[in-house]
Structure 1
Amino acid sequence: MKTIIATAALLAAAGPACAEKIALEPLIDARIRYEHADQDGLPDRADALTLRLRGGLQASSGAWSALVEGQGALAAIDDYYDGLRGAATRPLVADPQSIGLYRAQLRYKTRALALTAGRQRIAIDDERFVGAVGFRDNGQTFDAVRAEWTGLPKLKVDVSYAWSARTIWGIDGRGARQQAVSGDNVFATIGYATPIGTLGGFAYLVDQDEAAAQGFALSSQTYGARLSGSRPLARAVKLSYVLSYARQSDWHRNPNAYHADYHLADATLDIAAFRINLGYERLGASHGAALTSFQTPLATGFKFQGWADKFLITPPNGVRDLYVGAGHGWTKAGAFDLISIQAAWHRFDSDRLHLRYGDELDLLVTAKLGRTTLGARYADYRAKRFATDTRKFWLQADWTF
């Protein structure tokens, strides 16, 4: 109902645009992926061959645009546990079969202001706190109103109010893995371009107002600052860097009382087609009780702390991730427009009690040919004192119109 009201309000204001020419643009996005997972402690392996199709239409007229996009995902091979169906004797592959509305939004955009209302993707900065979870078939969207303002030079203000997070679990989501989690969420960022990079502050008020979603224990308020920038060091040599700090505490109906800190320091050196990356990320712990460590339930978690997905929920004692990576890319390589290879190694430790969690090696090869992107990915988590040894392998093809 809130989505309908917000969209109707913007439509009412759009009257003058109706006289202008309307441009129509189809939206088509297709994916096929094979995922294999082998996890110690489980008697069976997981094999999943999934297909995902999104289709819709965007209509634009002057500063106004509206789009509707549907989504469907099915499993051609379903020898896996999808979190809702299948045997939990197999590793989790979080791609349940589903069909439904992915996006339905109205947008007003000028040079200084963009207003978006309805079901939409929201991906802020590197998606560490709020993201679209693009790797999973069903993705994550929000029923929200968002305002982005750039009315002053070098300054950007971005504020969203979301009353529902539409999860990756699809139409059959239930229990702790619901189709949608309601609540009064506020995401606010401000950034100013300085000579050393974009310096900004942020506030994320996450309201998981569903008892089934961890008993309200994922509701939190997070305030912090972030600096991101890059500098040329020589011809074909560039240094990029990100520094971030945040403080999180309980909010709204959260039954726990806690405070936890977040730190990130990341540096990437590009030398022609080579890339070297070094970073350290800390999600702090409070007093060692479950869900009193720094949590990011609305993040694109797959992008962080290894692809084996061992730390999507931060352990009670927190997690520290020391990582190093390298990569190389080739343009116009044979029939391909782009080929790249990447490798990363992670060392995971607890934030308190000095526990060695484990190590992970991640490998990725991607190739782009026209509108098609091909990828082969591998993750190998070696447990020390957290979780169990896990190996995952993916083959994927994406096509976008």
Structure 2
Amino acid sequence: MKTLNKTKLTLALTTAMLASATSQSVMAESVTEALTSGKASVNMLLRYESVEQENSAKDASALTLRTLLAYKTGSVNGFSATVEMEDTRIVMGQGDYTVGPTGYNSGIYSVIADPEHTELDQGFIQYSAEGITAKLGRQVMTMDGHRFIGHVGWRQDRQTFDGLSVAYAPSKDLTLNYAYIDQRNRIFAEAADLDAKDHLLNASYNTSVGKLTAYSYLLEMDNGTENSLDTFGVSFVGSTAAGETKILYAAEYASQSNETASTDYSTDYINLSIGAVFTGITAKLGYESLGSDEGMVGFATPLATLHKFNGWADIFLGTPDEGLVDVNVTIAGKAFGGGWTVMYHDFSADEASDTVDDLGSELDLSYVKSYNKYYSAGIKYAAYSGDSGKVDTDKLWVWVGAKF
């Protein structure tokens, strides 16, 4: 009997070891297949930029080439990985510009925020299954059309974040997002990266007449001081048909508290727009107000893709203490296989002071065209007419891009 029991035990252990070995072999094969069956990609952008300003800085010009090399593995039980390297080089010696945070030509030329650099742009582990997508590591994060959380992809060194992000879609209409950021990797190579303790919450629901979104962005730099910047808001964006015309509409409101050890400010944000699409033309009228607390501090969006808002000349990358009101008109359409855009901005202070009231105006023009799915080219121009101490600024961009 003892011999029989020992035989059964030996068979059981042998079976378990074989099953374990088989399982490990299958897993190893799955991981190997995921690594070898992934997708590599290359994205290159060659861009010329010039800046002319009516101040003491010399006119700036830059010809830079950005290269993104990425590899995304296949999936194993819902897990995958992405690695992306980013490099920017000055081409043909065309580097007459200033990048303040890096010390490049400091104080000599007007600013073009494209430093030479090589760094890890993204590197994260992803899990995706049953409506959940989670990423851990360095990654691109965008929310709300980049107004509050963006990747600043217009610059050659785009903004990424180190942290955790989770998106959950329990239904086709409802999406819930949460992210924790412990480092903000900004657009100046590593010269101006910031440690952080940021919490981002965003929930959106698609209705029959538009998309309703509520959000809370609780930002804090991890530098041993009290510096919370908390924003709570709600937005609604939608469209409806009126015969052959498509009517566009959007409304948004947010409140923000800015607290330090010695200060406590409160500001408001309002964004309203109405537009129409007819015979291939899109026309919009917009009103955006980044409010002020009695002229002491303005509503801030430090993680936004700021170039997308308040004029392409980037005069208002930081909101004036008096706040900013931007009344704008946009007309866009198609021509010769590409897309053109004309924008006009009229700027003023939210709470005028003795020295700051009218903040100038700006005209923005662009034309972008894609050639099959691999190549693109564009030209873009911004002309800002200054007031209240802001200097006249002209900027021009010409670029070609390729991605494979």
Classify the TM-score, shorter chain: 0.7 to 0.9
Q: What is the match of residue 317 of structure 1?
A: 322
SS of residue in 2 equivalent to 1:302: helix
- 1:400 deviates by 1.6
2:55 to 19, 41, 53: 41
Structure number with higher helix proportion: 2
Residues 241-264 of structure 1 show CA distances to partners (whole Å, capped at 9, x for unaligned) of 22110000024x564310000000
Indicate whether 1:390 and 2:393 are aligned: yes
Task: Say if 2:40 and 2:72, in contact at 8 Å, map to a contact too.
Answer: yes
Q: What is the match of residue 69 of structure 1?
A: 84
- 1:18 deviates by 6.4
1:163 to 169, 174, 182: 182
Q: In structure 1, what residue type is equivalent to 2:385?
A: R
Task: Say if 1:37 and 1:45, in contact at 8 Å, map to a contact too.
Answer: yes
* More divergent stretch after superposition (296-305 vs 199-208): 199-208
2:375 to 372, 375, 379: 372
2:30 to 7, 11, 19: 19
Q: Distance in 1 between matches of 2:311 and 2:229?
A: 24
Q: What is the match of residue 381 of structure 1?
A: 384
Task: Say if 2:199 and 2:219, in contact at 8 Å, map to a contact too.
Answer: yes
Aligned length: 367
Q: Distance in 1 between matches of 2:79 and 2:172?
A: 24
Indicate whether 1:103 and 2:122 are aligned: yes
Equivalences for residues 145-184 of structure 1 within 5 A? 145-171=164-190, 173=191, 178=192, 180-184=193-197
Indicate whether 1:274 and 2:286 are aligned: no
1:308 to 313, 319, 322: 313
- 1:216 deviates by 6.7
Task: Say if 1:27 and 1:57, in contact at 8 Å, map to a contact too.
Answer: yes
Residues 36-55 of structure 1 show CA distances to partners (whole Å, capped at 9, x for unaligned) of 00011124100111110010
Cα distance, 1:111–1:87 mapped onto 2, change above 3 Å: same
Cα distance, 1:256–1:16 mapped onto 2, change above 3 Å: farther
Task: Say if 1:202 and 1:223, in contact at 8 Å, map to a contact too.
Answer: yes
Q: What is the match of residue 194 of structure 1?
A: 207
Task: Say if 2:240 and 2:246, in contact at 8 Å, map to a contact too.
Answer: yes
- 1:240 deviates by 2.2
Q: Which has the larger radius of gyration?
A: 2
Q: What is the match of residue 4 of structure 1?
A: none
Indicate whether 1:80 and 2:97 are aligned: yes
- Identity across the alignment (%): 29
SS of residue in 1 equivalent to 2:370: strand
Q: In structure 2, what residue type is equivalent to 1:369?
A: Y
Q: In structure 1, what residue type is equivalent to 2:351?
A: R
Q: Distance in 1 between matches of 2:348 and 2:83?
A: 44
Q: What is the match of residue 264 of structure 1?
A: 271
Task: Say if 1:17 and 1:61, in contact at 8 Å, map to a contact too.
Answer: no
Equivalences for residues 200-239 of structure 1 within 5 A? 200-210=213-223, 219-235=228-244, 237-239=245-247
Q: Distance in 2 between matches of 1:155 and 1:68?
A: 30
- 1:304 deviates by 0.1
- 1:97 deviates by 0.8
Indicate whether 1:56 and 2:65 are aligned: no
SS of residue in 1 equivalent to 2:156: coil
Q: Distance in 1 between matches of 2:30 and 2:205?
A: 37
SS of residue in 2 equivalent to 1:19: helix
Equivalences for residues 313-352 of structure 1 within 5 A? 313-330=318-335, 333=336, 338-352=337-351
* More divergent stretch after superposition (302-311 vs 192-201): 192-201
Cα distance, 1:152–1:45 mapped onto 2, change above 3 Å: same
Cα distance, 1:272–1:105 mapped onto 2, change above 3 Å: farther
Q: Distance in 1 between matches of 2:282 and 2:56?
A: 37
Q: In structure 2, what residue type is equivalent to 1:91?
A: S
Task: Say if 1:242 and 1:266, in contact at 8 Å, map to a contact too.
Answer: yes
Q: Distance in 2 between matches of 1:152 and 1:364?
A: 38
Task: Say if 1:339 and 1:368, in contact at 8 Å, map to a contact too.
Answer: yes
Q: What is the match of residue 134 of structure 1?
A: 153
Q: Distance in 1 between matches of 2:309 and 2:273?
A: 12
- 1:269 deviates by 1.4
Task: Say if 2:295 and 2:352, in contact at 8 Å, map to a contact too.
Answer: no
